[in-house]
């Protein structure tokens, strides 16, 4: 499919770039996107929370008082959860939340999100990013010209661009990521995507079916 290409200033041009139909023109698979996002978010969880059970707290080796005649409830150990300093009733142990998905599923999820963005006219391509010097106002001017300044935005750059990174890092609701490392969650967690033309070639090569 043909995607419009804007100038580095955000103005319309006659140029177009070829996005593979298998990457930018498929019918989105919502369930696969759900699985990919769930796996990515789960893999960010540490799972390191820990509380001690009654078997792990110190003390409590001796019966605190005799079984009968004291007027108190019977007790066998001060490590019981009813005592201060006792163990937790349902102690939590570290666990892993990680999920693994087949590579084909992860690629399909990214293709589904990109196709949905392209279909809803939420995908914008510029010829290149020209930010030789870090200037936030230049990024704002570009977004204003494209009429996406008020949207939550993902900017994809084909190579690490320090000028772009420094220019856009202070903007609210703007994330900048290298195209080769973008995930399904990165692609879906926004209202619009802006990328340079070279990013299309990277996505075509990465995600081609």
Q: For residue 159, name the pLDDT band (cuts at 50, 70, 90).
A: very high
**pTM score, two decimals?**
0.83
User: 57-93: per-residue pLDDT in tens?
Assistant: 998 788 999 999 999 999 999 999 999 999 999 999 9
- Which two tokens mark 156? 């994809």
| Strand ranges across the sheet with 192-196 | 12-18, 2-6, 123-126, 192-196, 153-157, 174-178
User: 19-50: per-residue pLDDT in tens?
Assistant: 999 999 999 999 999 999 999 999 999 999 99
Q: Which fold has domain 2-46+98-207?
A: Ribosomal Protein L4; Chain: A; (3.40.1370)
Give me the residue spans of the domains in the chain. 2-46+98-207, 50-93
């Amino acid at each position: 499919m043909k995607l419009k290409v804007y100038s580095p200033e955000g103005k319309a041009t006659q140029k177009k770039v070829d996005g593979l139909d298998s990457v930018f023109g498929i019918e989105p698979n919502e369930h696969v996107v759900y699985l990919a996002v769930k796996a990515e978010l789960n893999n960010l969880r540490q799972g390191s929370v820990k509380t001690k059970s009654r078997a792990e707290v110190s003390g409590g080796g001796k019966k605190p008082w005799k079984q009968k005649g004291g007027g108190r409830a019977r007790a066998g150990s001060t490590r019981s959860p009813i005592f201060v300093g006792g163990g937790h009733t349902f102690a939590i142990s570290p666990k892993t939340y990680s999920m693994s998905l087949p590579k084909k599923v992860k690629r399909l999820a990214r293709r589904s999100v990109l196709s949905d963005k392209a279909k809803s006219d939420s995908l914008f391509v510029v010829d290149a990013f020209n930010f030789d010097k870090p200037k936030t106002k230049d990024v704002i001017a570009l977004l204003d010209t494209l009429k996406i300044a008020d949207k939550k935005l993902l900017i994809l750059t084909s190579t690490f661009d320090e000028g772009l990174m420094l220019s856009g890092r202070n903007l609210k609701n703007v994330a900048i990521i290298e195209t080769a490392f973008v995930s399904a969650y990165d692609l879906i967690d926004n209202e619009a995507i802006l990328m340079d033309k070279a990013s299309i070639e990277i996505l075509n090569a990465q995600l081609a079916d």
